[in-house]
Amino acid sequence: MTGPPSAGHSGVADPGRSTGSGAALPSLRESVAYVAALGKPGVPQVLTAARDRGRVAVQPRCGVAEHTGMRALLRFLEAEAAPDVLSLTIDSHTRLRRFEEAERLLGTRPQELNGYPLVAHGWRRARDLNEAVAAPLEVRHGSPEPQRLFDVAVAGGITSFEGGGISYNLPYSKEVPLAVSLAAWEHVDRRCGELAELGLVVDRELFGTLTAVLVPPSISLAVSVLEAVLAARAGVRCLSVAYPQGGHLEQDVAALTAIPVLAERYLPPGVTVHPVLHEFMGVFPRARRHAEDLILYGALVARLGRASKIITKTHQEAAGIPDVRANIEGVRLADRANSPLLDFLSVDEDRVREERRWILAEVAEIVGPVLEGRAGTSAAVAEAIVEGFADGTLDIPFSASRFARSQIVPRRDPEGAIRYLRAGALPLSAKSLRRHRDLLAGPRGSLPSAASLPAILLADINYFPSLFREEPEVRGEPEVRDASKVREEPE
């Protein structure tokens, strides 16, 4: 594609770094004008167009350290797989605001960086990436304090930014207080509001995937609701609510179709909300045919759940970082679910409706105490979130943070749906808790003992390899791999 020349970029293949970690950025108004002149739709427009056409937009994960490699990777993915949105996955040092270390490694040992150090490269190189492909870019990272990263991304013309003050803190960081990350993300969301007033709507994707391990749908959606309320109050006009595929068809479809209901219930008019499915984030089967079955299954779930977008996986997921060919094949395979030949596919609507009813009720029980009486002030909501995680009335399973209790113990019921075995101090009603207990007990009428719990949880985590009857020794066998690795991801 062609686009306007970047400020300071005269069309050379690899524009020099422009900012490092502290140089000046263009004004918001100049950045808005740049995106307008770029001549391609932003992520919000792509998602709306996909939704209106009744298809699911497809997006891979990808990120490498060096600029020329990143540029070539984006162009290759677009030429071979034509994804609707392309990713710029950020390295760990930048996520943790170690900008100088990221810049040092970029100049000495770039192979040690596990993603694209955007702040070190600078906003002119971000514009160069933007101009290299027709698809819009999203920044995916995992940073609890992303202000500088966001400002560089916006200056680079990037129109989607993933994360939130809860979901990009508690799964990744041990020592960052929630109040700090919530304040940092308020900066991002207020910037989005300023940009919207100038005419540029930035998609803010919320990371409901959380720790990606056995996440009950209602806690994923409850966290997203709280982040969405804060974002909307700060001025965000486009929100993508990402939900992680759990593996049970009706439960996953119910969760995706609950998102528009939650948006109408908790967000003001004028905020566009898109459901997004992250293909299964847990232990992937090792055999290629099994992994591809799971990828296609996820794409069908996204279609049946009327998601606006799916984030894809690859058949090399169990072995580590996939190569570029596997990434291309993953995008192509997921996009097959958009075929009109599959219009006959359906799901048991009665079971979905019943599951959705319970998910919505549980979300209301979790977020109600946080939001009630705090209609007018975001600071009060943020304070209530901090207090909620401190006393356990808000919680997520398997958190890395000392600011979450992690007293939730999830497990799969006999049909594979994810339930609360223990809900910690979540304010779920007795009726909701009884339903989880009954579904987990199943026909056996009994729950696991404390002694058997570790083995049961391990079996639940290995659900799909076990479903495909992959033996542990088979799963441990290395596969032949291409040497070129194409991405790291925060998830």
407, 440, 445, 472 from 410: Cα distances, Å:
10, 10, 18, 23
Which two three-digit tokens encode residue 455? 């083995």
> In 197-316, at which residue ranges do the beta strands (DSSP E only) sit?
203-207, 238-244, 272-278, 309-311
The residue type of 394 is L
Q: Which helix (H) or strand (E) holds 86?
A: strand 86-89
The residue type of 104 is R
Question: What is the chain's alpha carbon radius of gyration, rounded to the nearest angstrom?
Answer: 22
State the Cα–Cα distance between residues 371 and 206, nearest whole angstrom.
18
Which two three-digit tokens encode residue 40? 């391609």
Q: Are 245 and 279 in contact (CB under 8 A)?
A: yes
State the Cα–Cα distance between residues 49 and 403, nearest whole angstrom.
40
Q: Which residue in this structure is represented by tokens 């009706």?
A: 250
Nearest to 254 by CA among 418, 398, 389, 410: 418
State the Cα–Cα distance between residues 225 and 330, nearest whole angstrom.
30
| Residues forming the active site | 95, 162
Which two three-digit tokens encode residue 149? 């990263």
Q: Which helix (H) or strand (E) holds 122?
A: none
Q: Give the DSSP letter string of 153-217.
A: HHHTT--EEE--TTTTTTTT-SS--HHHHHHHHHHHHHHHHHHHHTT-PPEEEEETTTT-SS--H
Q: Which residue in this structure is represented by tokens 């270390």?
A: 101
Nearest to 242 by CA among 40, 53, 59: 59
